[in-house]
Amino acid sequence: MASIAQDKNRLYDRLAEAIEEKKDLRNPLIEILRIAQEIFGYLPIEVQEFVAEKMNIPASKIYGVVTFYNFFSMQPRGKYTLNVCTGTACFVKGAPRLIQMISEELGVTMGETTEDGRFTLSAVRCVGACSLAPVFVIGEDTFGRIDNKDKIKEILKRYE
């Protein structure tokens, strides 16, 4: 059985190959970071430093890009991202309370991932389902008019 260190080395090998393949693109950094996030699931500092070294650019530049774009994450992501809509309609119809209920249910705050690695709690702008406000989204599924914890519990159970 491969050790964790060997597995990790294999991931770095894949990343090194991707950098080699993409580095001559016109603006390769975002694409390379996207691939790195795909390989590792997130972009911890050590991965950023690896990219910096291979591409011969300052690690601070990588860090700047990673923190600028919200599709990059420096924390491990859960199997599912639970996005609560914080657009105007949802906000007015109780998104803050919805966030609080989901937060309590999952035991995490915004941006965090549950201990069992199932959910990352996140916020999004209007998802176009304002008539169902307040809304949250898990993958392709949209849930609206959720006003109590029992409903939330029942929905979360479907995602194992």
Binding site for ligand FES (CB under 6 A): 85, 87-90, 126-130, 133, 135
Q: How far is CA 118 from CA 95, 110, 153, in A?
A: 22, 14, 14
3-state secondary structure of 14: helix
Q: How far is CA 16 from CA 51, 104, 133, in A?
A: 8, 41, 45
Give the DSSP per-residue string, 45-79. Answer: HHHHHHHHHHHTS-HHHHHHHHHHSTT--SSPPPS
Shortest spacing between CB 93 and ligand FES, in angstroms: 8
Q: Which is nearer to ligand FES, 78 or 87 (CB)?
A: 87
Shortest spacing between CB 88 and ligand FES, in angstroms: 6
Q: Which is nearer to ligand FES, 51 or 85 (CB)?
A: 85
Shortest spacing between CB 33 and ligand FES, in angstroms: 29
Q: Which is nearer to ligand FES, 11 or 89 (CB)?
A: 89
